[in-house]
Amino acid sequence: MRPPATVASLNRKVSTSLLARSIRESATLALNERAKLLADRGRPVIHLGGGEPKNKAPFAAVAGAAARLAAADVKYVPTDGTPGLKQAIIAYTEEHYGRAVRPENVIVSSGAKQAIMVMLHAILNPKEEVVFPAPYWVSYPEMVKLAGGVPVVVTPQDGSFQPTIEEMEQAVGSYTKAIILNSPNNPSGQVYNDEFVAGVVDLCEKRGLYLIMDDTYNRLIFDGRIPTNVYRYEHEGNIENSKVLVVNCVSKMYAMTGFRIGWAIGSRELIRAMTNIQSQQTSGPAAPSQWAAVGALNGVQSAIEGLRLTLENNRNVMLKRLATLPGVHVTQPGGTFYCFPDFSAYEKDSQKLSRFLLEKVRVVTVPGKEFGMEGRLRLSYCGTQKDITEGIERIRWALDPNAPNELFLGERKILREAV
C-alpha cells in the first residue's frame, strides 16, 4: 500500500504560473538550437532560417570596447544608458531622423527586444490591446501578453503584406492602446509605403494611441529606397507631447547581434517610466557592450552600406533561385534579411513543411504560421551565396518531382525513393 503523501512530497511537484504556461517558446530560437544540434553531430545543415549576418562587427566597435576593457575597470552604469552612448544616439537620431532629442528622451536597453518589452510594460494596463499587421515578428504577440495586454492582428485581405488604413482602423477599439509597425518588415521584407505610414500616424493621433516604430532594419533597404522616417508624418512637433516611439539597435545594421544593445526614443515622462521598470528588471545594459555601441555609432559608417549591398545581392540570388520552383510565389523584399515565399502549392501546413525540409534535406527554415501567415516559410539570405544556392537547390529537389533522382548532402548521396 502506497504511503500517504506528505506536504514535502506534494511541494516537490513543479508548478508554473498561468502566464508562463500561456507564453510560447521563440520559434526562431528553437530552430537555431535544433540546427546547431544537427551541425554538432556532423550533419550538413544549411541555415536559411537565421537573422544574423555573417559580417564582422565594425572595427571601431571592437577597438572601442577593447581599449576600455584593457583598463579592467568595468563597473555599474546608469540604468538608462551611459552618457557617451546617449550622446551617440542623439547624434544618430538628428542625422537620420532630423529630430533633436535630449538625453532624457533616450533609454538604452539590452537589445531592441527589451526596449519594446519595457515600453509595453510602461504603457499597457491589463487587457488593453496592441494592434499590428500580419505578417509580424514572432515575439510581438507573446511580448504583449507578457505585459498583460491583448495582441490584435490585422491580416491584409488582399493577400499582400500591407493592410489598408481602413483595415487598421477597423481593428482599433475602445481598449486599443498602441499600434506596432516594423518596416522593413521581419519576416516579409515589406517596406510600408509613405501613404500607409502617414495614415497610421494620423490614425494614432486621432485616437490618442501610441505608435511603436520598430526600426531594427531601417537602413537595410534596397532598390534605391529611402529609409522610413516616421517623424516626417507627425503633426505634433514637440516630442514631449508625442506618442510616437522609435526603437532601434546596433544588432542588425552593424552586425552586432551578440552585443545586445538597443534603444528607444520617446517623451521624458515615458522614458522615465521605462527607466524605473528597467531598473527593477536588469539595471543598465553591460558596460562593454555600450562602449562597443559608441564605437559603432561614432565610427566610420561604411559597414552598414557594405552589409546592405551584400544583402541586396544575396536577395537577388535567392529570388532567382526561388523562381526555379514551380508553384512557389514570392513577393520581392524591399529590405531586411528575409523573404517570405508561399509554398502552399506543396504543403499548406508550414510547420510540417519546415520539419520535412530540416529532417530530409537538412535545410533550416521558419514556418510562416509563427509570423501569422500559414503556407509560407521565412527564408533568410544573410548567409553566404553558396548556402543560398545549395539550400534552394535542396528545397527544389525535395519538393519538385521533376528534379534529378539523387542529391548529395555533403558526401552522402540520397535518392528520391528514400524520401
d(CA 223, CA 268): 37
Summarised one tens digit per residue, pLDDT across range 349-370 is 999 999 999 988 999 999 999 9
Q: Are 264 and 109 in contact (CB under 8 A)?
A: yes
Sign of CA dihedral 315, 319, 325, 328: positive
Q: How many CA atoms are closer than 13 Å to the CA of 281, on its beta-carbon side?
A: 19
pLDDT of residue 30: 72
Residues 338 and 357: beta-carbon distance below 8 Å: no
pLDDT at 293 over 80: yes
Ramachandran angles phi, psi of 368, nearest 5° = -65, -25
- CATH architecture of structural domain 7-56+303-418: Alpha-Beta Complex (3.90)
pLDDT band at 97 (very low <50, low <70, confident <90, very high): very high
Domain 74-298 CATH (choose: 1.10.760.10, 2.40.30.10, 3.40.50.1980, 3.40.640.10): 3.40.640.10
Q: What is the mean pLDDT of residues 330-353?
A: 97
CA 266, CA 357: separation in Å to the nearest integer?
A: 43
Q: How far is CA 357 from CA 3, 49, 200, 363, 392, in A?
A: 50, 12, 38, 6, 11
- The torsion defined by the Cα of 224, 315, 53 and 358, in degrees rounded to 10, comes to 160
Of the pLDDT bands very low, low, confident and very high (cuts 50, 70, 90), residue 408 is: confident
122 has a pLDDT exceeding 60 = yes
The mean predicted confidence, pLDDT, of the chain is: 92
Question: What CA–CA distance (Å, rounded) separates 4 from 154?
Answer: 53
Angle subtended at Cα 36 by Cα 62 and Cα 44, rounded to the nearest 5 degrees: 110
Domain ranges (residues) in the chain: 7-56+303-418, 74-298
- What single-letter DSSP state applies at residue 217? T
Backbone angles phi, psi at 60, to 5 degrees: -60, -35
- How far lies 195's CA from each of 79, 105, 133, 164, 355, in Å? 37, 27, 15, 10, 39
Output the pTM of the full model: 0.92
Nearest-angstrom CA–CA distance, 169 and 373: 20
Query: pLDDT tens-digit profile of 32-54?
Result: 777 778 777 777 889 998 888 88
159: which 3 cell numbers? 493577400
